[in-house]
Amino acid sequence: MVEPNIRLLRYFLAVAEELNVGRAARRLYVSQPALSQQLRRLEHDLGVELFHRSSRGMRLTESGAVLLPVAEEVVRAADRLIATAGARPGRRGLVVGFVGNGLGHLNAAVRDDYARRMPRVDLLLRQVEVQDQLESLRSGQVDVALARLPVRETDLTVVPFFAEPRLVCLPAAHRLAGRCHVDVDALAGEVFLAVPERSPRHWREFWLAQPRPGGAPVRLGPSFGTAEEALQLVAAGHGVLLVAATFRDGYSREELRFVPVRGLAPSRVALAWRGEQPPPGGRELLTTLRSVAARTERGGAAAFAALGCEHGDGAAEHRDGSPGAATGARSA
């Protein structure tokens, strides 16, 4: 028997959860053939068959069921090891999960402010998949998460600290691409990229602007797994996508346009953690996030103007949804 590596165990856990190689491959951002090959490699290394495969689907074998809890503990231990190793001697680390580019241009200010407040704690940033922003907390992969609302899970404490406009990402040749802003009604006939199905329904509806006025259904295009994949689909004309304003900071490119949408509630970002009390260093991070957000929101009109508007028409939207408790989740 060959000692398996952590990456193969992560692949095994994803397939064991999905019981579908295709869905697991999309979740892991690998091709389906490559994932199948890696599973076979793990089975060869261990000398056992982990899954029963048939035309009706997949299920764990007895050996697979025995391996599952052990693999979960090994992967959790590896994550803890990575977090510990990332902290410098005499210091401790706070692992922060984030989706996409986090807070965009605000990331540096948060990092610098936190370093001044907590000089002996290292912020260890870990990018997570859109659909796993909360599961990464439950699994212990991260200590806290910068979560995009809405969040309704009651086992997590969720504290909003920042609100920003939502934009529509369009191909550069789109009929609306030259607008300073668009009303949400102007998007009624557009095809929207499908938000990953593993995301909670209320989260998908928020990013598809559902329900629409008059109950009009949303026309759905292809789904995506990563931000990069979504942008390529938009650029190719397969659909449009609603994003938060800071998303543009890391993903702006010549073939795309980002246009503010009026008539939509803003996107809110929250700090989330397991249970009622934040982990060590978490409360200070929340204070830092609130401080940076307050400085940013005081310049709301200027921030909105930076999105492409010559006037502050949408600045009030930027200030709507000021930080408050998330529905259905504990607040602190």
* pLDDT value at residue 86: 57
In the structure, what pLDDT confidence band is assigned to residue 321 with cuts at 50, 70 and 90? very low
Tell me which of 44-48, 100-104, 268-272, 301-305 is least confident. 301-305
The 8 Å CB, 24+ separation contacts for 226-234 are: 226/29, 226/129, 227/100, 227/101, 227/130, 227/251, 230/169, 230/193, 231/169, 231/256, 233/193, 234/169, 234/170, 234/171, 234/193
Q: Is the pLDDT of residue 37 over 80?
A: yes
Please give the CATH number for the structural domain made up of 6-82.
1.10.10.10
* Mean pLDDT value of segment 190-195: 92
Identical topology for domains 88-163+267-319 and 166-262: yes
* pLDDT value at residue 329: 60
156-164: strand order across its sheet: 121-128, 92-99, 144-148, 267-274, 156-164
Q: How far is the CA of 184 from the CAs of 212, 220, 265, in angstroms?
A: 9, 16, 11
pTM of the model: 0.64
In the structure, what pLDDT confidence band is assigned to residue 301 with cuts at 50, 70 and 90? very low
Domain ranges for the chain, please list them. Answer: 6-82, 88-163+267-319, 166-262
| Average pLDDT score, the chain | 81
Evaluate whether the domain defined by 88-163+267-319 bears CATH number 3.40.190.10: yes
Tell me which of 10-14, 221-225, 276-280 is least confident. 221-225
Give the CA-trace dihedral at 265, 271, 277, 281, to 10 degrees: -160
Q: Is the pLDDT of residue 179 over 60?
A: yes
Q: Give the tens place of pLDDT for each residue, 233-288.
A: 999 999 999 999 988 877 778 899 999 999 999 999 999 999 889 999 999 999 99
Q: How many whole angstroms separate alpha carbon 238 and alpha carbon 50?
A: 38
166-262 to CATH, choices 3.40.50.11540, 3.40.50.2300, 3.40.190.10, 1.10.10.10? 3.40.190.10
In the structure, what pLDDT confidence band is assigned to residue 214 with cuts at 50, 70 and 90? low
88 vs 17, which has greater pLDDT? 17
